[in-house]
A and B are shown apart, each in its own frame.
Chain A
Amino acid sequence: MSEMLKKELKLSASALSYLFIAFALMTMIPGYPILMGAFFVCFGIFQSVQRCRENNDLVYSALLPVAKRDVVRAKYAFAVLIQACGFLIMAILTLLRMTVLVDATLYRTNALMNANFVFLGFVLLEFGCFNLIFLGGFFKTAYYFGKPFVIFLIVFFVILAIAEALHHFPGLEAVNAFGFTEMPLQLAFLAGGAVAFVVMTVCSQAGAIRSFEKIDL
């Protein structure tokens, strides 16, 4: 399995998958919907899936001495690795905004979503949606990815809109907490995002393995 992941990193991955991790830096942009960073990280992974199809990578992978299910596992492992890198940067920058920059006027006067643990919970939710909708959808045919990507786009922006709007609803202002205030609520969102990410990714991978076993290459 580690050989397959190395193969993904060395041969299959598009350089954009790595470059687009840098969009996690959007976490620092004031007055900007910072969840967009999660979108660009996913869009980088999309580039690798596109490259994989253009290069007939699934046939090459299935011809290697690995079980067919390991081809799918490697694609998911690659996606999760890229997402983990993006998340790590976002988490570090979020902690920076929650500590050193907690009182920065630039962020205090921000009408949009604040960088806190709630934001990180939404990032994980968006990543989980990508794995469930896009990767899972791609492996239904191991060829077509247009429809799954469009569905992911719609879902992504609906979640983004909800996340951005949430703290404007009366009684939900705490969602946009600064620093380490409202910790139970913040941690609940983060935990919820983490659970959603794990459940969606695991379920999607299991379904993708089942689909891929039945696909004729």
Chain B
Amino acid sequence: MSIVEVDRLCKDYPSFHLKDVSFTIEKGRIAGFIGRNGAGKTTTIKSMLNLVHPSGGAVRYFGLPLKENEAEIKRRIGYSTGTVNYYPKKKLKDLAAVTRTFYPNWDEAAYREYLNLFALDENKAPAELSEGMKVKCNLAMALSHKAEVLILDEPTSGLDPFSRDELLDLFVMLKERGVAILFSTHITSDLEKCADDIIYIRNGQIILASDTDTFRRELGEESETLEQTMLRLERSARNV
């Protein structure tokens, strides 16, 4: 059984439609969610977290429907929707003090470790952090409660190359512990480094959701990098 199942998810906005988005995420695998800006990555991820009310379809975690088991599921997953954009003037330690009370599995040692790894000063408030540091702050919170699944919206966006590399190494380490990871990105080199599966979305529709080898075989051309494949596909789509 897949650990996360997204089944025919739809969302209608006046000028954008998410159409029958379906894919699964398996335990101990990293899935990269790629697509251009505005392709529907964030809408899909927000729907997977019940931040956006889908027009149709279903999301299941651990075989349980999200709608009816929202609190239990959210305790078992970690998620980060970009940067910390709440309570800009509150110190990180105050935010963490409240956040940790919601997680019975909160691992204080791991939290300290991530603060250290990301060089975060918990006496600072989000307003005092750069965009990259805000992303790290969100990640530290998401990673500190022994989540079985991580859903991360553009976690590498705004990070310097060194931090990005460290984060991707961390993903690999978590994967080896059995954690399933879905992360959206438009930086294809992130996928080259650690993704086992690729979910490619364009104009609100999934073009292909498969393991990386199948993706290369079906959509790539000989000796093409993922970036070249993506650029070619997007260009050809634009020219249609």
Contacts and interface: CB of A to CB of B under 8 A. Distances in A.
Interface string B35-60: 00000000000100111110000000
B225 interface: no
Contacts of A70: 71
B74 A65 contact: yes
Interface stretch (A5-13, A86-94, A132-140, A180-188): A5-13
A65 B75 contact: yes
Interface residues of A, number: 23
A6 B71 contact: no
Contacts of B50: 62, 68
Contacts of B109: none
B101 A55 contact: no
Interface in A46-63: 55-57, 59-60, 62-63
A173 interface: no
Nearest to A62: B51
A65 B103 CA distance: 8
A10 B98 contact: yes
Contact of A60 (B49, B53, B86, B103): B86
Contact of A63 (B73, B79, B98): B79
Contacts of B94: 11
B214 interface: no
B86 A59 contact: yes
A57 B52 contact: no
Nearest to A60: B86
Contacts of B52: 216-217
Contacts, number: 65
Contact of A216 (B46, B74, B88): B46
B46 A56 contact: no
B98 A7 contact: yes
Max chain A C-beta neighbours (<10 A), residue from B46, B52, B73, B102: B102
B71 A56 contact: no
Nearest to B53: A214
B98 A67 contact: no
Contacts of B87: 11, 55-57, 60
Given A55-B87, A56-B86, A63 B53 contact: no
A154 interface: no
A181 B170 CA distance: 75
Interface in A1-37: 3, 6-7, 10-11
Contacts of B88: 55
Max chain B C-beta neighbours (<10 A), residue from A62, A65, A70: A65
A59 to B, nearest CB: 6
A64 B102 contact: yes
B177 interface: no
Nearest to B141: A63
B101 A217 contact: no
A64 B74 contact: yes
A203 interface: no
Contact of B102 (A10, A59, A65): A65
A10 B94 CA distance: 9
Contacts of B49: 62-63
A216 B87 CA distance: 19
A4 to B, nearest CB: 8
A62 B50 CA distance: 8
8 contacts: A55-B90, A56-B87, A60-B86, A65-B103, A66-B102, A68-B50, A70-B71, A216-B51
Top 5 A-B pairs ranked by shortest CB distance? A65-B74, A60-B86, A65-B75, A56-B86, A67-B70
Given A7-B101, A56-B87, A65-B73, 13 more contacts: A11-B90, A55-B86, A55-B87, A55-B90, A59-B85, A60-B86, A60-B87, A63-B49, A63-B74, A63-B79, A64-B99, A65-B72, A213-B53
Interface of B: 46, 49-53, 70-75, 79, 81, 85-90, 94-95, 98-99, 101-103
